[in-house]
Structure 1
Amino acid sequence: MMLRKSILLSIGIQFLILSGCAQDSKPVKDEGRAKPAKEQSSETLNRLAKASSPYLREHADNPVDWYEWGPEALAKAKRENKPLLVSIGYAACHWCHVMERESFMDSTVARLMNENFVAVKVDREERPDVDQVFMSAAQLITGSGGWPLNAFALPDGRPFYVGTYFPKDQWVQVLQQLAEAYKTQHPKVEQQAAAITQGIQGQEVIALATGSSKTFTKAAYSGLYANWKSSIDFKKGGFSRAPKFPLPVGWEFVLQSYYLTGNKEALAAVVTTLDEMAKGGIYDQLGGGFARYSTDADWFAPHFEKMLYDNGQLVSLYAHAYKVTKNPLYAEVIRETLAFIQREMTSPEGGFYASLNADSEGEEGKFYVWTQKEIQQALEEKPARLVGDYYQVKQSGNWERGQNILHRESTKEAFAKSNGLTADEWDKLLANAKKKLLKERSKRVRPSTDDKVLTSWNALMLKGYLDAYLALGDDAYLQTALQNARFLEKNMVRKDGRLWRNYKDGKPSIDAFLDDYALLADAYIQLYQATLEVQWLKKARVITDYAVAHFRDAKSGMFFYTSGQSEGLVVRKMELTDNVMPASNSVMANVLYRLGEYYDHPTYLQMSQAMLNHVAGEVPAGGPYYANWASLLGMMAYGPFEIAIMGKEAVAKSHQMQQYYLPTALFMGGKEENLPLLESKGVEEGTLIYVCRNKTCKMPVKEVQAAMQQLLP
């Protein structure tokens, strides 16, 4: 395998030493902000007023002459021989808004940008392909990256300098120095761009097919968890670092490891993580839902934006953990989070919105934090005292500016006992208080919603609803999942399996990327398992076949992030490592494996095995960044259970079995023999359950408990 590592370039040009870091600066208040674009005359707006992205539209009232990424901007840069200034962010990014207020709304700064550059604004959620290129450049130059991401590139798109957040005075210096360098040191700028582009081309790209294939053994899998132990925070959960991200895909692997190996320490690590997150400020204690990450190691102070992809994955993780533990806290988190999604993140058509901003009224977190006095005014004396104690509210505040982030130190049961209440009494008092506080909070200025719909993120939330349904048995969750699936089918899927990426104002506008194909296929497979309606499995196969035809690299067997029919960027990248979302290649490898099993399709299985073979050497030391690959390794090493349930009660008995945590099981069945593994298993009367492995089945049984016994070693 030739997996080229990233390199840190040695920068020899003096003007390139400036950099910015969003985390090093303090928030600024929203003073002197121009009116929102929607309140201004169309004559005063720039061309971003017509963009599909809400984030781009927020910049429509900037005096900067913004372009969207595309042929028009690149043609202008080439025609006028100006460098591109590519500013990348997203709607829920606090420091993106800070930089807009400080710099992009300033007419003097805007004039400097307009005269010397072709300014391009990019929503990284709509155009992750563009973001990937310039983020790779940032990591090469500085060793890190973040948003806002501000890149400078030649007219052909090759970057020569990238930074993150810059305060206004530093931003002006960067603009002046880079404009001067482009004019007076052009050969050096060209040389720099060539070196950076060459470095990007070597990142996360597998150029050659593997030599000998590897055998994925139980011994290799069972040793993986030991490599994770040193990075796990066994006291507060999560990984031992700050800021602390949930990284659900990592904990899915750890939970699977417990199931396959019986390692109770692995289960304890998952339980601690989920317990502490549910008690922390990262979780919205009143309204449900999780913020993107915690700024500290204790899950206390969040970065307050709420992202759809986090909440979809976390609902799935809590649902899987609930199946193992039956912990009522996990059921509560699932219900509250999905209530939040239904209330604030769901469109009338059934699509799910992308995110909620961290800021309101120019302050991060203002919508969510409380003073002690505010709680006392909203509640009667006893509830105010108890709720204040429960959520660690202090008169002087537990956070900034006398404000309190609501979080818990004890369980409901322990708190009730210490205050002389029964569990039922405290449950009722707390529920009533939360209802009143939530109503009071709703009177505040709410953070803005990025109401675009993204296929891949919707797929994660769709799967979250399905996992919640299978864990808790609430049919409303299945109906919401079906509504979303039909919305996606109607608006995002074309007849040949080609997908759209985004949907806004009644229409899609951007071609999809690999994560859209992989995650939607994965969600469709789960929808089949929940309903046993084979149409969803067929749809998963159609869009997977399209991805194979248009995204797969024939030489390596891996998948590019962009289609061969897409706009050509300076680099065509592959996404290999898992992060806050699983890597599109790791999801596609899992999808191919499952489809290969369902359809008895050797080519799919061979593709999946070859993909895992490419990264197998990285998995042992890769930790959470190869977690989804590790889960696939577990599936291959231990072999999946093929559970075929045939007859009138097939769906009901399938649901009964799926209330248990069975991460390596593939459920199928119904009344028709419509898959290869269902052939000759049809029944005329009653219902039979076949537990199979490697296409060899045990004696069929009628009862779920008997089938569960057949799953035991």
Structure 2
Amino acid sequence: MLRRVCPGGTAVKLQGMTNRLAGSTSPYLRQHAENPVDWFEWGEEAFAEARRRDVPILLSVGYSACHWCHVMAHESFEDDAVAALMNEHFVSVKVDREERPDIDAVYMDATTAMTGHGGWPMTCLLTPDGAPFYCGTYFPRDHFGRLLQAIAQAWAADRGEVVAAGQRVVDALTQQSAALTGGTALPSTDELDQAAATLVGQFDREHGGFGGAPKFPPSMVLEFLLRASARNRDDELTTVADRTFDAMARGGMYDQLAGGFARYSVDAAWVVPHFEKMLYDNALLLRSYLHWWRVSGSGLAERVARETADFLLRDLRTPQGGFAAALDADTDGVEGLTYAWTPAQLAEVLGPADADRAAEVFGVTADGTFEHGSSTLQLPVDVDPAVRDDLRTRLFAARSTRPQPARDDKVVTAWNGLAVAALAEAGVLFDERRYLDAALACGHLLLDVHRVDGRLRRASRDGLVGDAMGVAEDYGDLAEGLLALHQATADAQWLAAAGELLDIALDRFAADDGGFHDTADDAEQLMRRPRDPTDNATPAGSSAVAAALLTHAALTGSTRHRSAGERALAVVGEVAVRQPRFFGWSLAAAEGVAAGPVQVAIVGEPGGGPLQETAWRLRPPGAVVVSGEPDAPGQPLLADRPLVSGGAAAYVCRGMVCDLPVTTVADLERTLRATR
């Protein structure tokens, strides 16, 4: 890589050359490889250079599917004048938040503390020791240029105050991080009911979901509500869940042609999405819709679950068997270019008569629901499935000829673990072998490539694993996926591998109070050790590990794992009850504790059968199911559970107390319904 050195000592890119990011494993970082900014990746080289030059670090954090990240890149990072300011006065560091969630978490806390809000792109100014002293999100080009000049002047003229401000931020964040922990007891059933009642009070009765615009899919909260309503048979909780699932599936946030969900709706009515599609959203929502289908029998739930699973396999699967992180929000720099339709575009594809019918079916109007007279596709009411499928097939074929959004094809451990769990369940519940095969292939990839010397790495790309170490959510979510594979296949290797990962989590991530840190005890030391117990877009590291520990305990009878999972939930129990929208995964896991756990062991149905099908269809929320031969090696749930009169039998236990085995579908149905 050819470089020349400016008088100030900074390196700049020659025309047609690339900067340090060209060799990154992150597609997001590679998007900036031809910027005139002399970017560094996060690491000691960057901080050493800042100390040598005695200049601040300019930290820019984003991700590949982020619309405003692209806007700031085009406006500022591709601008020679802005790049010259950055190169002269700062050491500039670019971070992919998906590859380094630990760095993102630490500096997002600082950004939120300083500005009152967060988001991406995130821009932080740091001392050469990593302490933030100025933070923000998106800055327009002219504002950004003035900011750089002002920061450079302050650094030169009032260094002491700048450094002191950074230290004050670090001290305040250290104290603030303790506010969300400190609980000592698991939520009682009364407290779980209180949390559910709080959610009912926050429910948007007109549009479904919670809160106003922008509106995010509350997959983990819905999982909690499904479990809570099953426990106490509360019709109001069922209504909240049903209305939200229905509204999301009918709105523009759901891709009515290709399946799969966009990241969020920019409005309160689920009409206009922010068009990026994230693996983690679709994995979580696929599993949630599966569970909604199991308890409701909704045909809409089944269709959306199948279409979302198909979307994962068709659009996100990588050649190595993993799943790509995301599809971009933009196509050729324009949001919605691939997805939105005008009446004229419908007519061009379908002809006038069918275009009118499609406009009615999918809510396409003359004025448009999106930009420039175009509309996102919705499904306001049910129509003849044959009509819908015909229109959908023809429009999807035409849409496939349009420019398509870019794909971030890095394979993130945690998100792929969530996908493994969802697809394994879908494969069994729908008797769809290709879903289960995809889950198995992904599980093998994650263990074979992402596990290095027994420890997890965060991500890979094109089959090559990156250097970033796995964080707590990687261990918890992958263990969750492997435990689902064990239940789906009765293969002991998945249970053993999950146990190994959870033992590492207990050894390396445990906090003194019983919760879990986001990073291992031997991870890179940042300005503070990140620990965010809230379930936001994905399960928190702590709740992911806790939930997997409890599932592992239910499958093995391990009191050590059960106690560790319960302690982790107790640490956040009090705040979770008060703020349930931000602790859905923890509350769902706590419901599993309240339920028993429920364990179903089926013997004598190799390869599946009517008892296994019944158990998976009617299993209470949070229950575990394993079907195999009696006393199968490495499968504790099948130990000491013999055949009955030489035939297949199902053993149902709750809270470590077992019913007599049953041998008919009717008896198993009655037993399972009695435990819900």
TM-score where L is the length of structure 1: 0.89
Q: What one-letter code is carried by the residue in structure 1 that aligns with 2:150?
A: Q
1:473-488 maps to which residues of 2 (within 5 A)?
473-488=431-446
Distance across 2 between alignment mates of 1:598 and 1:266: 29
Q: What one-letter code is carried by the residue in structure 2 that aligns with 1:45?
A: T
1:115-264 maps to which residues of 2 (within 5 A)?
115-205=88-178, 213-214=184-185, 216-264=187-235
Matching residue of 2:8: none
Deviates more, 1:189-198 or 1:390-399: 390-399
1:352-501 maps to which residues of 2 (within 5 A)?
352-412=323-383, 423=384, 427-494=385-452, 496=454, 498-501=455-458
Q: Deviation per CA, 1:1-22, whole angstroms, max 9, x where unpaired?
A: xxxxxxxxxxxxxxxxxxxxxx
Matching residue of 1:319: 290
Distance across 1 between alignment mates of 2:628 and 2:354: 52
What SS is found at the alignment partner of 1:204? helix
* 1:59 shift after superposition: 0.5
Contact 1:532 1:651 in 2 (8 A): no
Distance across 1 between alignment mates of 2:464 and 2:344: 46
- Pair 438,71 (structure 1): closer, same or farther in 2 beyond 3 Å: same
Deviates more, 1:296-305 or 1:649-658: 649-658
Q: Deviation per CA, 1:194-250, whole angstroms, max 9, x where unpaired?
A: 01111222233489976xx53653333233211111211122111021100002001
- Residue 107 (structure 1) aligned with residue 88 (structure 2): no
- Pair 175,42 (structure 1): closer, same or farther in 2 beyond 3 Å: closer
* 1:471 shift after superposition: 3.0
Distance across 2 between alignment mates of 1:705 and 1:151: 62
* 1:146 shift after superposition: 0.5
- Residue 584 (structure 1) aligned with residue 541 (structure 2): yes
2:591 to 626, 631, 634: 634
Distance across 2 between alignment mates of 1:432 and 1:241: 35
What SS is found at the alignment partner of 1:121? strand
Q: What one-letter code is carried by the residue in structure 2 that aligns with 1:485?
A: G
Contact 1:323 1:660 in 2 (8 A): yes
* 1:344 shift after superposition: 1.4
Structure 1 residue ranges, 4+ long, deviating more than 6 angstroms after superposition: 206-210
- Pair 668,215 (structure 1): closer, same or farther in 2 beyond 3 Å: same
Contact 1:84 1:119 in 2 (8 A): yes
Deviates more, 1:264-273 or 1:427-436: 427-436
Matching residue of 2:508: 550
* 1:363 shift after superposition: 1.0
2:639 to 679, 687, 700: 679
Contact 2:252 2:273 in 1 (8 A): yes
2:667 to 706, 709, 712: 706
Distance across 2 between alignment mates of 1:470 and 1:626: 28
Q: What one-letter code is carried by the residue in structure 2 that aligns with 1:569?
A: L
* 1:96 shift after superposition: 0.3
Q: What one-letter code is carried by the residue in structure 2 that aligns with 1:490?
A: D
Distance across 2 between alignment mates of 1:389 and 1:280: 14
- Residue 609 (structure 1) aligned with residue 560 (structure 2): no
Contact 2:259 2:310 in 1 (8 A): yes
* 1:368 shift after superposition: 0.6
Q: What one-letter code is carried by the residue in structure 2 that aligns with 1:562?
A: T
- Pair 398,219 (structure 1): closer, same or farther in 2 beyond 3 Å: closer
Contact 1:247 1:581 in 2 (8 A): no
- Residue 560 (structure 1) aligned with residue 517 (structure 2): yes
1:465-544 maps to which residues of 2 (within 5 A)?
465-494=423-452, 496=454, 498-509=455-466, 510-544=468-502
Deviates more, 1:501-510 or 1:388-397: 388-397
- Residue 287 (structure 1) aligned with residue 264 (structure 2): no
Matching residue of 2:272: 301
Matching residue of 1:597: 554
Q: Deviation per CA, 1:584-625, whole angstroms, max 9, x where unpaired?
A: 101111122222233322222222222222112112211221
Matching residue of 2:3: none
- Residue 574 (structure 1) aligned with residue 531 (structure 2): yes
Distance across 1 between alignment mates of 2:113 and 2:342: 44
2:319 to 327, 343, 348: 348
Q: What one-letter code is carried by the residue in structure 2 that aligns with 1:410?
A: V
Contact 1:532 1:670 in 2 (8 A): yes
Deviates more, 1:660-669 or 1:117-126: 660-669
* 1:404 shift after superposition: 1.5
- Residue 74 (structure 1) aligned with residue 47 (structure 2): yes
Q: What one-letter code is carried by the residue in structure 1 that aligns with 2:641?
A: K
Q: Deviation per CA, 1:59-97, whole angstroms, max 9, x where unpaired?
A: 011000001101111110111111000000000000000
2:236 to 261, 265, 268: 265
Deviates more, 1:201-210 or 1:544-553: 201-210
What SS is found at the alignment partner of 2:113? helix
1:662 to 605, 620, 639: 620
- Pair 397,227 (structure 1): closer, same or farther in 2 beyond 3 Å: closer
Q: What one-letter code is carried by the residue in structure 2 that aligns with 1:125?
A: E
Distance across 1 between alignment mates of 2:331 and 2:119: 22
Distance across 2 between alignment mates of 1:48 and 1:74: 16
Matching residue of 1:4: none
Contact 2:630 2:643 in 1 (8 A): no
Distance across 1 between alignment mates of 2:189 and 2:517: 30
Matching residue of 1:16: none
Deviates more, 1:484-493 or 1:56-65: 484-493
Contact 2:476 2:545 in 1 (8 A): yes
* 1:677 shift after superposition: 4.3
Q: What one-letter code is carried by the residue in structure 2 that aligns with 1:681?
A: R
* 1:403 shift after superposition: 1.4
Deviates more, 1:227-236 or 1:215-224: 215-224
Contact 1:552 1:560 in 2 (8 A): yes
Q: What one-letter code is carried by the residue in structure 2 that aligns with 1:688?
A: A
* 1:277 shift after superposition: 0.9
Q: What one-letter code is carried by the residue in structure 2 that aligns with 1:469?
A: G
Contact 2:595 2:654 in 1 (8 A): no
* 1:452 shift after superposition: 0.6
Deviates more, 1:122-131 or 1:383-392: 383-392
What SS is found at the alignment partner of 2:570? helix
Q: What one-letter code is carried by the residue in structure 1 that aligns with 2:650?
A: I
* 1:649 shift after superposition: 4.1
Q: Deviation per CA, 1:149-178, whole angstroms, max 9, x where unpaired?
A: 000000011111100001111001110111
Contact 1:643 1:667 in 2 (8 A): yes
Matching residue of 2:20: 47
Distance across 1 between alignment mates of 2:327 and 2:187: 42
Distance across 2 between alignment mates of 1:51 and 1:342: 26
Distance across 2 between alignment mates of 1:214 and 1:47: 50
Distance across 2 between alignment mates of 1:664 and 1:121: 40
Contact 2:649 2:662 in 1 (8 A): yes
* 1:693 shift after superposition: 2.2
What SS is found at the alignment partner of 2:133? strand
Q: Deviation per CA, 1:25-77, whole angstroms, max 9, x where unpaired?
A: xxxxxxxxxxxxxxx99951111111110010010110000011011111101
Matched residue count: 657
Distance across 1 between alignment mates of 2:168 and 2:418: 37
Distance across 2 between alignment mates of 1:409 and 1:563: 47
Contact 1:206 1:556 in 2 (8 A): no
Q: What one-letter code is carried by the residue in structure 2 that aligns with 1:378?
A: V
Distance across 2 between alignment mates of 1:318 and 1:333: 7
Deviates more, 1:324-333 or 1:170-179: 324-333
